[in-house]
Amino acid sequence: MMIKAAAALSLLSLASAFIVPAHLPAVAPAVAQPRSVLQSTSDGQNLRPDVAEQLELYAAEAQKRIDSMVKENKVMLFMKGNKMFPQCGFSNTAVQVLRASDVKFETFDVLSDPDIRQGIKEYSQWPTIPQLYVGGEFVGGSDILIELFQNGELKTTLESGGAEFVA
Amino acid sequence: MQAAIEAKLTSALAPTHLEVTCSDGNKWAVTVISEAFQGKPLLARHRLVNTALAEELEDIHALSLKTKTPAEWEKS
């Protein structure tokens, strides 16, 4: 009986570590907060500061990885799925447009990495996937690719971005 | 959602023509004809629309955009 009560008590205190007290003021008080006090992240989640810090590190690391992919590959497509098996109609459209342009391109499957999936939207300040980068510059999503392909500007963009074409 | 999208775009871009359609549950197609797009490249036009719909985009699965000026719309 004692053991059960103790277990319940420790469960209770564990659970309470993940709940923000309702009386917490919206504005941080001037006094230093103890480490157990929870803070709100930008997307409204309440996380323990050390966990939030860890998440920020992952996010920063994702930005670095995106930046090197974009800079190391002249034509870089972030998509859902891969060239052989696109997992979304819009990503498929982007692949088809690039294939029709006879250009060599690399892809990254954002479904394989949640940090990149979220991070790429912040990197370009663009809310959707697919996203095409040419010569390190963000070009656009699938609607833009289609329109640039149809009016001939995509070829110019690819050429000036240093893209390699399929012989 | 449709009303919200239309209201946001109307106040943000004063379109002369606006079409908002939804298919497949949550896939949206939007055509905006506005003088605001004059002299702006495609990417900038889409960014304007994305900015106007930032709140809605969090719940939208897919958004397909056509952005033209009234003069371009006449020709097409």
pLDDT of residue A44: 57
| Residue A66 C-alpha, separation from nearest chain B C-alpha, in angstroms | 20
Q: Which residue has the higher pLDDT, A110 or A41?
A: A110
pLDDT bin (cut points 50, 70, 90) of residue A146 is very high
Residues 13-72 of B with CB under 8 A from A: 42-43, 46-47, 50, 54, 57, 62-66
Tens digits of per-residue pLDDT, A109-144?
999 999 999 999 999 999 999 999 999 999 999 999
- Chain A neighbors of B65, CB-CB under 8 A: 143
| Residue A167 C-alpha, separation from nearest chain B C-alpha, in angstroms | 30
Dist CA B14 CA A77 (whole Å): 33
| Collapsed DSSP state (helix, strand, coil) of residue B24 | coil
- Which of B27, B31, B42 is the best substitution to test chain A (most A C-beta atoms within 10 A)? B42
Intervals of chain B under pLDDT 70: none
pLDDT of residue A11: 44
| Residue B57 C-alpha, separation from nearest chain A C-alpha, in angstroms | 7
pLDDT bin (cut points 50, 70, 90) of residue A39 is low
Contacts of B24 by beta carbon, 8 Å cutoff, 6+ apart = none
Domain ranges of chain A: 50-160
Domain B2-69: assigned CATH number: 3.30.300.90
pLDDT at A85 over 70: yes
pLDDT of residue A10: 47
pLDDT of residue B19: 97
- Chain A neighbors of B62, CB-CB under 8 A: 90, 128
β-pair type (A106-109, B62-68): unpaired
Q: Do B54 and A90 touch (CB under 8 A)?
A: no
3-state SS of chain A is: CHHHHHHHHHHHHHHHCCCCCCCCCCCCCCCCCCCCCCEECCCCCEECHHHHHHHHHHHHHHHHHHHHHHHHCCEEEEECECCCCECCHHHHHHHHHHHHCCECCEEEEHHHCHHHHHHHHHHHCCCCCCEEEECCEEEECHHHHHHHHHCCHHHHHHHHCCCCECC
Structure-block tokens of residue A111? 């479904």
Tens digits of per-residue pLDDT, A43-70?
556 899 999 999 999 999 999 999 999 9
* The CATH number of domain A50-160 is 3.40.30.10: yes
pLDDT of residue A114: 96
Dist CA A99 CA A117 (whole Å): 23
How many Cβ contacts (< 8 angstroms) between chains A and B? 25
State ipTM: 0.85
Mean of pLDDT over chain A: 83
pLDDT at A31 over 80: no
Q: Do B72 and B34 form a contact (C-beta atoms < 8 A)?
A: no
Q: Do A144 and B57 touch (CB under 8 A)?
A: no
**Distance from CA of residue A22 to its chain's centroid?**
31
pLDDT of residue A40: 53
pLDDT of residue A38: 56
Domain ranges of chain B: 2-69
pLDDT of residue B23: 87
pLDDT of residue B24: 82
pLDDT at A71 over 80: yes
Instruction: Give Dmax (Cα) for chain A.
Output: 78
Percent of chain A past pLDDT 70, that is, above it, reads 73
Can you say whether residue A60 is alpha, beta or left, with left for phi > 0 and alpha for psi between -120 and 50 degrees? Answer: alpha
